[in-house]
A and B are shown apart, each in its own frame.
Chain A
């Protein structure tokens, strides 16, 4: 059975277009909630003997002038509290205050000064730019031998479009999670996003490699059929690879504990989106582009 992937490409473009539009709207409306690593502040994970509501916690800590206190419940009777940066003495007083509320054990405490936050942001930005640059160069290099009927830089552009698609969608999800569930963009999530960069291209490369091979084998007539043929050949592999990675990620999401939970979620969204975009966006884009340039001629 052969599936015609490029026949309905307009439809796939619309789906992805809507998702990306939603992401951009959400980014404009809600923005992103960055973790204390990037903006500075304190992060305190505690477990209570008796679960406390976020209001009672905020009330108890009012006198410390901690700015906006966000309380994110974890597990049955734990919570992660985030507030502005405090020194060690204040930290101990806060803990004592919580202890008055209900006996409290502190599981972890983190304080990041504002200068470190700024520095981390710069470093992360640099890492993202370098990664994007390196990936584009690599694709252009890997496909330098294929120039007909679609030139090699177009493969590069198509995979970059897929790449942005795969990174934007999880960012959109986190923008919404941040607004409604206080989920923050932390270092692990950034690491996950950068891994998606690598993984998404990974997927696209395998498909493009097949297209390249089929063009070399079958000649360059009937470009659309060649692309479809290649997609059908690689479909089994695409599904298997994504599934094996998703297995470990889902296991990590449910069993892996708090720090790695959202790290796993980011990867799950990004890798799913990556598998989708390699098949339904990147490859059809090549065909659409080819058709467009035919019309021009």
Chain B
């Protein structure tokens, strides 16, 4: 007998936690207010952001088709391509770029917040990104290191790092800064061999403009290191571990001003093969696999994204209110309980979105909104049954039991069917439909829980054996 009260309290606690997790803003503001007024130190509820798709936060999405016809090991070629493009877009200063391999030979690049598509496309596809970086002053280095610490501290606390002033600074290399000299000025790269050691070297030739810039840079950096990067990483493997990563830095010291417009890259551990591949990459101006221009492109302005988000949220809120009014008018007290269960449903689903986390797109929100309308269906089925049972003269608690029992096969069959359709959509279709199918399926599962388990507990606690409900006066409520 007492058990149902424990479960009831458990459900309420779960609902409040889910609600706070889904939308902690007001709670945390009140905490701040109280802490300020009473000088308490109440803790904040942990904040976690929803992950929004490009259509809601604005940005660029590009899909490339790689030409793998001349490649033997296709999957490693694709992951190599992904790594390089990932490094290139990271240099772009995007907060959370997503570079993914799609299927066999497609690469999708998502750049949230970027609006200059032309620059992004150039950056990704065309020039090999050769950079010559000079040393920063000690002061600049310190500033960037400080900023990095600040951003790291913020992200450890799960705060929004984009709110920190000049947060992009933390993405920069603290020790070197780019000069004007890039791969744009390169005319030719050749592999030559050292006269005495016979080690391979890469010789870079610049055009006239590049030669002038190079002379200028070497002139102002005498006795200082000059770092050379290709696509955001060291141009060669300097520590000899067979791969190029953050551990490598190729930064020879400038001995004297170089005026001839040519530079030589040398390394004791560089094989002829590596030298050849770097040189050919520099010459072809291309990625390890040819990708051409994007086969699909989507750009969403930042205002459109946030407007869409606002609009769909308002649509959800008004829809929810309409459903609640309808349920209360049509089903009275049980309808009120079902509405409460529906509100808990919304909180739970939003919390699950954050927990998993689900990338919310317009389609996903559409699926979610639809599921709000569908979530009460199970309740409607149950209540309709309950009313019939009451009409046929059964006692209240028996009518509740019968209502649930008899409605269950229909609820199971129809929801199972919707889940099948969602599963097919999810596995077969494209990303828009995937987002929709996923949130709809999630909504159906959570709604089964809320409509059956939560509403039932509510009914048992509030109506179960109350003498009040048996009286004639209260009958209209049911």
Question: How far does the Cβ of A40 sit from chain B's closest Cβ, in whole Å?
Answer: 9
The number of residues on chain A lying at the interface, defined by a beta carbon within 8 Å of a beta carbon of chain B, is: 72
B327 at the interface (CB under 8 A from A): yes
B296 at the interface (CB under 8 A from A): yes
A248–B370 CB distance below 8 A: yes
A205–B413 CB distance below 8 A: yes
A213–B315 CA distance with the chains assembled, in angstroms: 38
Known: A240-B330, A248-B323, A257-B307. A191 touches B432 (CB 8 A): yes
Known: A110-B299, A187-B432, A206-B410. A134 touches B421 (CB 8 A): yes
Which residues in chain B, 458-477, are within 8 Å of chain A measured between CB atoms?
none
A244–B314 CB distance below 8 A: no
Question: How far does the Cβ of B54 sit from chain A's closest Cβ, in whole Å?
Answer: 10
B429 at the interface (CB under 8 A from A): yes
Contacting residues, chain B, for A246 (C-beta < 8 A): 373
Which residues in chain B, 307-332, are within 8 Å of chain A measured between CB atoms?
307-308, 311-312, 314-316, 318-320, 322-323, 326-327, 330
B41 at the interface (CB under 8 A from A): no
B424–A130 CB distance below 8 A: yes
B170 at the interface (CB under 8 A from A): no
| A244 interface neighbour in B65, B376, B432, Cβ under 8 Å | B376
B242 at the interface (CB under 8 A from A): no
Contacting residues, chain B, for A138 (C-beta < 8 A): 413, 416-417, 420
Kindly report which residue of chain B lies nearest to residue A44, judged by CB atoms. B299
Q: Which of A4-12, A14-22, A112-120 contacts B (4 or more CB under 8 A)?
A: A112-120
Which residues in chain A, 219-273, are within 8 Å of chain B measured between CB atoms?
233-234, 236-237, 240-241, 243-252, 254-260, 263-264, 267
| B414 interface neighbour in A113, A201, A210, Cβ under 8 Å | A201
Q: Contact string, B116-159, partner A, CB cutoff 8 A, digits 1/0?
A: 01100100000000000000000000000000000000000000
B362–A260 CB distance below 8 A: yes
The number of residues on chain B lying at the interface, defined by a beta carbon within 8 Å of a beta carbon of chain A, is: 69
Contacting residues, chain A, for B410 (C-beta < 8 A): 205-206, 209-210
Kindly report which residue of chain B lies nearest to residue A127, judged by CB atoms. B428
Known: A138-B420, A188-B432. A251 touches B315 (CB 8 A): yes
Contacting residues, chain A, for B417 (C-beta < 8 A): 135, 138, 198, 201-202, 205
Which residues in chain A, 144-179, are within 8 Å of chain B measured between CB atoms?
none
A263–B429 CB distance below 8 A: no
A60 at the interface (CB under 8 A from B): no
Which residues in chain A, 87-129, are within 8 Å of chain B measured between CB atoms?
87-89, 91-92, 105-113, 115-116, 120, 123-124, 126-127
B293–A127 CB distance below 8 A: no
A134–B409 CA distance with the chains assembled, in angstroms: 19
B366–A252 CB distance below 8 A: yes
B295 at the interface (CB under 8 A from A): yes
| B117 interface neighbour in A88, A124, A197, Cβ under 8 Å | A88
Tell me the dominant secondary structure on chain A's binding face.
helix
A241–B363 CA distance with the chains assembled, in angstroms: 22
B308–A259 CB distance below 8 A: yes
B47 at the interface (CB under 8 A from A): no
Contacting residues, chain A, for B307 (C-beta < 8 A): 257
Kindly report which residue of chain A lies nearest to residue B311, judged by CB atoms. A257
Contacting residues, chain A, for B293 (C-beta < 8 A): 87-88
Known: A201-B414, A251-B315, A256-B315. A245 touches B425 (CB 8 A): no
B67 at the interface (CB under 8 A from A): no
A237–B314 CB distance below 8 A: no
B326–A243 CB distance below 8 A: yes
A142 at the interface (CB under 8 A from B): yes
Known: A191-B432, A233-B388, A259-B308. A252 touches B420 (CB 8 A): no
B296–A116 CB distance below 8 A: yes
| A251 interface neighbour in B118, B319, B425, B436, Cβ under 8 Å | B319
Question: How far does the Cβ of A255 sit from chain B's closest Cβ, in whole Å?
Answer: 4
Known: A206-B410, A233-B388, A244-B327. A105 touches B297 (CB 8 A): no
Kindly report which residue of chain A lies nearest to residue B63, judged by CB atoms. A116
Contacting residues, chain A, for B445 (C-beta < 8 A): none
Question: How far does the Cβ of B375 sit from chain A's closest Cβ, in whole Å?
Answer: 9
Question: How far does the Cβ of A95 sit from chain B's closest Cβ, in whole Å?
Answer: 11
Contacting residues, chain B, for A243 (C-beta < 8 A): 326
| B373 interface neighbour in A115, A234, A247, Cβ under 8 Å | A247
A247–B308 CA distance with the chains assembled, in angstroms: 19
B433 at the interface (CB under 8 A from A): yes
Kindly report which residue of chain B lies nearest to residue A134, judged by CB atoms. B420
Q: Which of B76-84, B199-207, B254-262, B377-385 contacts A (4 or more CB under 8 A)?
A: B377-385
A61–B409 CA distance with the chains assembled, in angstroms: 59
A33–B415 CA distance with the chains assembled, in angstroms: 32
B429–A259 CB distance below 8 A: no
Which residues in chain B, 372-418, are within 8 Å of chain A measured between CB atoms?
372-374, 376-377, 380-381, 384, 388, 406, 409-410, 413-418
Kindly report which residue of chain B lies nearest to residue A119, judged by CB atoms. B430
B230 at the interface (CB under 8 A from A): no
A109–B297 CB distance below 8 A: yes
Contacting residues, chain B, for A248 (C-beta < 8 A): 315-316, 319-320, 322-323, 369-370, 372-373
| A188 interface neighbour in B63, B326, B363, Cβ under 8 Å | B363
Question: How far does the Cβ of B430 sit from chain A's closest Cβ, in whole Å?
Answer: 6
Question: How far does the Cβ of B429 sit from chain A's closest Cβ, in whole Å?
Answer: 5
A240–B380 CB distance below 8 A: yes
A66–B366 CA distance with the chains assembled, in angstroms: 33
Question: How far does the Cβ of B79 sit from chain A's closest Cβ, in whole Å?
Answer: 22
Q: Which of B327, B381, B410, B415 has the most CB of A within 10 A?
A: B410
A45 at the interface (CB under 8 A from B): yes
Jot down 18 A-B pairs with beta carbons below 8 A, ordered by A: A88-B121, A88-B293, A107-B304, A113-B296, A115-B295, A116-B296, A126-B428, A130-B424, A187-B433, A190-B433, A209-B410, A241-B376, A244-B323, A244-B373, A244-B374, A244-B376, A257-B308, A263-B366
Q: Which 4 A-B pairs have the closest CB atoms?
A: A248-B319, A113-B295, A245-B373, A248-B373
Q: A88-B118, A116-B63, A247-B322 are in contact. List 7 more A-B contacts (CB 8 A).
A: A127-B433, A131-B421, A209-B410, A237-B381, A248-B370, A254-B315, A259-B55
